[in-house]
């Protein structure tokens, strides 16, 4: 089976590629941005087919879809940083919304009928009141960032193309996921990096942190990408599925787990900029 992963060199994309390669039943294709960092896929690059692509370029997207004619598409390419979306809201909205639209239109114009997975986010739920917990797929979407708004739009656009054109689109809303190759802009990876640098005497023995009382639902990225794959295998087109552990954990507890793995004498200090 031909599988296309947009954003294959990203955190989740690289793990999804590994998942399918381990199955040994698929031909893997992926899109990457021109001159993007390939470190996440350097160990598998000779086993996948790569296409340089800016998803905002409709012509290039159609050219790639025409050449590959994939049977499954996992759309992961996006501007995926919440904090960056505040500094560059226009870039976030254009990349995430127009990029997805270009993919859908390419599939329509080439007249193929693949299963399409759209990787949404728990950020779509935004403001959740205690009475609504646990969050289900029927919960109201009240995004609180430009990134969240872009993901809600992707979500609804996927539903519209399913209803209007019959594209076999399945949407997911993944909650926090962490694991190997997670960027250090995220809390757990940042904590881990600080600890390693302290152990190597590259910095003072102080871990700088933000709000440790926030509660999040964490999953291992390898479980999340397996869920992505199973969504197209067992899910129903037109539906949306949450991907989560179902358990909340304080950021403080995640930090405590990492600190317990170190022999260094560490101090914790609050940094209001985090």
* 59-102 pLDDT, tens digit each: 999 999 999 999 999 999 999 999 999 999 999 999 999 999 99
**What pLDDT is attached to residue 195?**
97
Beta strands 177-178 and 219-220 are parallel
What CATH number corresponds to the domain at position 60? 3.40.50.720
What CATH number corresponds to the domain at position 264? 3.90.25.10
> E-strand spans in 33-188?
49-52, 72-75, 115-121, 168-174, 177-178
Domain count, the chain: 2
Are 232 and 210 in the same domain?
no
Neighbouring-strand partners of residue 52: 32
Are 228 and 260 in the same domain?
no
Are 119 and 200 in the same domain?
no
Are 122 and 200 in the same domain?
no
**What pLDDT is attached to residue 216?**
94
Are 191 and 256 in the same domain?
yes
Distance CA 274, CA 255 (A): 15
Q: Is 253 helix (H, G, I), strand (E, B) or coil?
A: helix
**What pLDDT is attached to residue 87?**
97
Mean pLDDT, residues 178-187: 92
Are 199 and 230 in the same domain?
no
Residue 274 in this model has a pLDDT that exceeds 90: no
pLDDT tens-digit profile of 138-153? Answer: 999 999 999 999 999 9
Are 156 and 264 in the same domain?
no
The tokens for 168 are 């076999």
Range of the domain at 76: 2-178+219-246
Q: Is 153 helix (H, G, I), strand (E, B) or coil?
A: helix
Are 114 and 29 in the same domain?
yes
Are 131 and 261 in the same domain?
no
Contact 274, 162 (CB under 8 A): no
Are 192 and 60 in the same domain?
no
Q: Is 147 helix (H, G, I), strand (E, B) or coil?
A: helix
Cα angle: 222, vertex 231, 100; to 5 degrees: 95
Are 150 and 208 in the same domain?
no
For the chain, what percent of residues have pLDDT higher than 90?
96
Contacts of 210 (CB under 8 A, 6+ apart): 187, 251, 270, 271, 274
Are 16 and 109 in the same domain?
yes
């Amino acid at each position: 089976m031909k599988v296309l992963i947009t954003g294959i060199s990203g955190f989740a994309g690289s793990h999804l590629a590994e998942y399918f390669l381990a199955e040994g039943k698929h031909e893997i294709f992926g899109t990457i941005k021109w001159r993007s960092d390939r470190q996440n896929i350097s160990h598998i690059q000779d086993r996948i087919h790569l296409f340089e692509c800016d998803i905002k370029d409709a012509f290039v997207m159609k050219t790639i879809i025409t050449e590959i004619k994939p049977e499954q598409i996992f759309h992961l390419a996006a501007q995926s940083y919440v904090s960056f979306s505040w500094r560059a809201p226009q870039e976030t909205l254009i990349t995430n919304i127009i990029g997805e639209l270009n993919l859908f239109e390419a599939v329509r114009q080439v007249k193929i009928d693949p299963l399409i997975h759209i990787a949404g986010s728990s950020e779509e739920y935004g403001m959740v009141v205690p009475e609504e917990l646990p969050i289900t797929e029927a919960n109201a979407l009240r995004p609180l960032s430009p990134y969240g708004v872009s993901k809600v739009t992707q979500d609804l656009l996927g539903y519209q193309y399913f209803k209007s054109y019959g594209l076999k689109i399945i949407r997911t809303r993944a909650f926090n996921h962490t694991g190997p190759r997670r960027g250090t802009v995220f809390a757990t990876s940042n904590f881990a990096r600080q600890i390693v640098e302290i152990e190597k005497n590259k910095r003072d023995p102080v871990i700088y942190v933000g709000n440790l009382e926030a509660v999040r639902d964490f999953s291992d990225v390898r479980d999340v990408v397996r869920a992505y794959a199973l969504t197209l295998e067992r899910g129903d087109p037109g539906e949306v599925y949450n991907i989560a552990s179902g358990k909340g954990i304080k950021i403080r507890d995640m930090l405590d787990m990492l600190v317990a793995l170190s022999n260094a004498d560490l101090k914790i200090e609050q940094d209001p900029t985090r």
